């Protein structure tokens, strides 16, 4: 769409809106295109042909208008011959000018009809050549209908009366408010942010703080720089914040800044109690997985008017300091887990999203044990078990968009969290703590001995994880991954008992042999039962009490859970 057409379209929309208001009818619905609202779609040939080097984003946030005025300068290096650049930007944000290396591009040489901005290059690029794309744009960005699940901008008001603003765009992507390659594979090597806001407000964001500039006209610019940020993790946060800060002495020798931006109206004792959780969580994750991936920037948290989101080095927190008997704030811990599972390790495709959400969710039972012991870990696992749907497999083996994974009517939905966690637990119980830790560390960092500054963010797939588990253990656990991840139904354990013998048999959704060993407790004594080819047996004296899998190590179909879910469904219908 040319500038002239864009302006004409905008004027027409405003006229229609005004007429509708005068006629008493509601204004037309204003929303992003279907293309913009989807994320993790296949890259174009032009996007695959470039290396995304830098994004320099200057964004003025205008609270009274619920609008932004922005300039983005994107640096690319060609990996193969290239005639045009293609990036993504929401059509709700009209573009006023496009430049290549400082030279204006005529309106008939760029277009953005559905939110995919295509710009003809004045001269073709050869491999190794670099180019800078400058895009000036402004407007009212998409308002989140229900952040963070249905995302966009959140325009709220703090309890003290000031504007309180946040972005949350995981499901919709970075193109909601800045021109980007809206894909996990579109990470720039560096993003510099210059966020201009009213001077009585603060604007904490990703990466390192480079200072702020008060322009003397009621506006102040906050400057930040972040390395290799996950694209949807770039976040704007504006509000009447106060900052609590400290330093964490890492078990790996480096010192990590800790920063929490909270509303000035918050109770100081609640703020301090939450901030006191920061070093405990850091210690747990560094011991369980490895070094905090962004220790040279910060562990940052900001209070938001929506529940939360894993924004790299500036995790969104909106849990309201709730106390629920866990001994920790679950929302804070879950979003922080994504610094490892999501930001350091990024899925190859949304089909591998369980690597983010499942492994991240398993950190909560493990953290409960770290803090309070086995009883609290088992409570977390039991709560996760009750909610499984098992309608779609966690992994299909084919590329998916995020919507196709997160929406439970077409994909696994919430199972990627709890089922992914429970599968992780069964894997740890199967291969042991040492092997599980080694596999997890190698998956996240690409090495068994990660050191601060000695690793880069990685893209990983489910098959990568299987290969690593096989390397670490020296065995083939393909049957485990296929049985749990590529089948919707849980493995079913059948049992028969006659002639003093208990016979056990596994059945999986695809009928493949499932040699998952079991523990069987017979009158208080636990015996290991090898399930070669999915079958096993153990002698049981007449009248003995038998308990299968007494420590609940193995995820499987259970009648008691099925009955509970059926009862809840019936009660809900009533």
Distance CA 151, CA 180 (A): 17
Which tens digit of pLDDT belongs to each residue from 17-43? 333 333 455 555 579 999 999 998 899
Task: Determine the pLDDT at residue 538.
Answer: 97
Residue 41: Cβ within 10 Å count: 16
Distance CA 316, CA 151 (A): 13
Which two tokens mark 173? 């992507």
Q: Which residues contact 409 (CB under 8 A, 6 or more apart)?
A: none
% of the chain beyond a pLDDT of 70: 95
**Cβ proximity of 151 and 129 under 8 Å:** no
| Domain boundaries of the chain, sorted by first residue | 3-30, 37-337, 348-485, 492-554
Is the pLDDT at 5 greater than 80? The verdict is no
Q: What would the DSSP string read from start to end of 257-286?
A: EEEEEEETTS-HHHHHHHHTHHHHHHHHHH
Task: Determine the pLDDT at residue 482.
Answer: 98
Taking the CA of residue 348 as centre, how many other CA atoms within 13 Å lie in the half-sphere pointing to its CB? 13
Q: pTM for the complete prediction?
A: 0.93
Residue 521: Cβ within 10 Å count: 16
Architecture in CATH of 37-337: Sandwich (2.60)
Task: Determine the pLDDT at residue 299.
Answer: 98
Distance CA 221, CA 215 (A): 8
Task: Determine the pLDDT at residue 41.
Answer: 85
Task: Determine the pLDDT at residue 480.
Answer: 98
Which tens digit of pLDDT belongs to each residue from 306-318? 999 999 999 999 9
Task: Determine the pLDDT at residue 30.
Answer: 74
Instruction: Report the Cα–Cα distance between both ends of the chain, in Å, rounded.
Output: 52
Task: Determine the pLDDT at residue 29.
Answer: 57
* pLDDT category of residue 3 using cuts at 50, 70 and 90: very low
CB-count exposure of residue 62 (10 Å: 0-12, 13-18, 19+): middle
Q: What size, in residues, is the chain?
A: 574
Highest-confidence range of 2-6, 9-13, 276-280, by mean pLDDT? 276-280
| Least-confidence region, from 18-32, 223-237, 273-287, 307-321 | 18-32
Task: Determine the pLDDT at residue 223.
Answer: 99
Whether 348-485 and 37-337 are alike in CATH topology: the answer is: no
Is the pLDDT at 123 greater than 50? The verdict is yes
% of the chain beyond a pLDDT of 90: 94
What value does the mean pLDDT take over residues 273-301?
A: 98
Q: What would the DSSP string read from start to end of 407-436?
A: -TTTS-TTHHHHHHHHHHHHHHHHH-HHHH
CA distances from 406 to 149, 181, 359 (A): 10, 21, 16
What value does the mean pLDDT take over residues 175-200?
A: 97
Is the pLDDT at 4 greater than 50? The verdict is no
**Cβ proximity of 181 and 45 under 8 Å:** no
CB-count exposure of residue 524 (10 Å: 0-12, 13-18, 19+): exposed
**Cβ proximity of 220 and 194 under 8 Å:** no
Task: Determine the pLDDT at residue 17.
Answer: 34
Q: Which residues contact 539 (CB under 8 A, 6 or more apart)?
A: 500, 501, 502
Average model confidence (pLDDT) across the chain: 94
Give the three-state DSSP class for 367: helix
Closest by CA position to 316, among listed 236, 258, 241:
236
Task: Determine the pLDDT at residue 28.
Answer: 54
Closest by CA position to 534, among listed 552, 517, 515, 548:
515
CATH topology of domain 492-554: Immunoglobulin-like (2.60.40)
Is the pLDDT at 381 greater than 50? The verdict is yes
What value does the mean pLDDT take over residues 257-268?
A: 98
What b/e sequence results for 140-166 when a residue is b if at least 16 CB atoms lie within 10 Å of its CB, and e otherwise? Answer: ebbebeebbeebbbbbeebeeebbbbb
Is the pLDDT at 456 greater than 70? The verdict is yes
Cα angle for residues 434, 435, 441 (degrees, 5° grid): 90
Is the pLDDT at 212 greater than 70? The verdict is yes
Classify strands 219-227 and 103-104 as parallel, antiparallel or unpaired. unpaired
Which tens digit of pLDDT belongs to each residue from 318-347? 999 999 999 999 999 999 999 999 999 999
Which CATH superfamily includes the segment(s) 348-485?
A: Neutral Protease Domain 2 (1.10.390.10)
Is the pLDDT at 218 greater than 80? The verdict is yes
Distance CA 32, CA 139 (A): 13
Is the pLDDT at 305 greater than 90? The verdict is yes
What value does the mean pLDDT take over residues 354-381?
A: 98
* pLDDT category of residue 574 using cuts at 50, 70 and 90: confident
Is the pLDDT at 106 greater than 80? The verdict is yes
Which tens digit of pLDDT belongs to each residue from 394-430? 999 999 999 999 999 999 999 999 999 999 999 999 9
What value does the mean pLDDT take over residues 360-378?
A: 98
Which tens digit of pLDDT belongs to each residue from 85-101? 999 999 999 999 999 99
Task: Determine the pLDDT at residue 151.
Answer: 96
């Amino acid at each position: 769409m040319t500038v002239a057409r864009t302006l004409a379209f905008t004027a027409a929309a405003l006229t229609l809106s005004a007429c509708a208001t005068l006629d008493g009818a509601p204004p037309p619905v204003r929303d992003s295109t279907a293309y913009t609202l989807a994320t993790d779609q296949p890259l174009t040939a032009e996007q695959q042909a470039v290396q995304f080097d830098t994004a320099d984003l200057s964004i003025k946030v205008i609270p009274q208008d619920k609008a932004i005025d922005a300039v983005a300068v994107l640096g690319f290096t060609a990996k193969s011959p290239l005639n045009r650049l293609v990036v993504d930007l929401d059509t709700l944000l009209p573009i006023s000018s496009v430049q290549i290396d400082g030279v204006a591009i005529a309106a008939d040489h760029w277009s953005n009809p559905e939110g995919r901005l295509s710009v003809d290059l004045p001269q073709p690029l050869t491999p190794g050549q670099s180019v800078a794309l400058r895009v000036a744009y402004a407007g009212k960005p998409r308002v989140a209908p229900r952040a963070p699940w249905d995302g966009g901008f959140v325009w709220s008001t703090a309890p003290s009366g000031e504007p309180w603003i946040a972005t949350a765009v995981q499901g919709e992507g970075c193109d909601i408010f800045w021109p980007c390659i809206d894909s996990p594979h579109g990470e720039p090597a560096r993003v510099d942010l210059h966020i201009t806001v009213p001077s009585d407000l603060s604007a904490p964001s990703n990466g390192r703080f480079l200072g702020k500039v008060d322009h003397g006209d009621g506006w102040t610019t906050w400057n930040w720089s972040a390395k290799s940020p996950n694209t949807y993790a770039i976040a704007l946060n504006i509000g009447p914040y106060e900052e609590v800060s400290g330093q964490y002495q890492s078990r790996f020798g480096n010192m990590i800044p800790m920063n929490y931006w909270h509303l000035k109206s918050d109770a100081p004792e609640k703020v301090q109690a939450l901030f006191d959780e920061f070093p405990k969580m850091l210690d747990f994750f560094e011991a369980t997985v490895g070094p905090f991936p962004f220790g040279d920037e910060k562990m940052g948290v900001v209070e938001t008017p929506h529940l939360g989101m894993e924004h790299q080095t500036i995790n969104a927190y909106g849990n309201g300091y709730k106390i629920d008997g866990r001994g920790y704030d679950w929302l804070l811990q879950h979003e922080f887990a994504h610094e490892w599972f999501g930001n350091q390790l990024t899925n190859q495709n949304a089909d591998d999203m369980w690597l983010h959400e499942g492994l991240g969710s398993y950190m909560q039972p493990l953290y409960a044990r770290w803090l309070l012991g086995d009883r609290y870990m088992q409570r977390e696992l039991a709560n996760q078990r009750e909610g499984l749907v098992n309608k779609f497999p966690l992994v299909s083996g084919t590329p998916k968009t995020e919507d196709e994974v997160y929406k439970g009517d077409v994909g696994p939905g919430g199972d990627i969290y709890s089922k992914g966690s429970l599968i992780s637990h069964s894997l740890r119980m199967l291969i042991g703590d040492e092997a599980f830790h080694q596999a997890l560390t190698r998956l996240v960092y690409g090495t068994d001995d990660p050191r601060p500054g000695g690793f880069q963010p990685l893209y990983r797939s489910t098959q990568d994880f299987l290969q690593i588990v096989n390397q670490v253990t020296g065995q083939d656990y393909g049957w485990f991954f296929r049985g749990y991840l590529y089948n919707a139904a849980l493995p079913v354990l059948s049992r028969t008992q006659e002639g003093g013998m208990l016979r056990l048999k596994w059945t999986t959704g695809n009928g493949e042999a499932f040699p998952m060993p079991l523990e069987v407790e017979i009158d208080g004594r636990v015996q290991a039962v090898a399930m070669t080819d999915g079958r096993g047996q153990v002698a049981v004296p007449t009248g003995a009490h038998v308990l299968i899998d007494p420590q609940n190590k193995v995820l499987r179909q259970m009648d008691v859970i099925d009955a509970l879910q059926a009862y809840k469904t019936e009660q809900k219908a009533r």
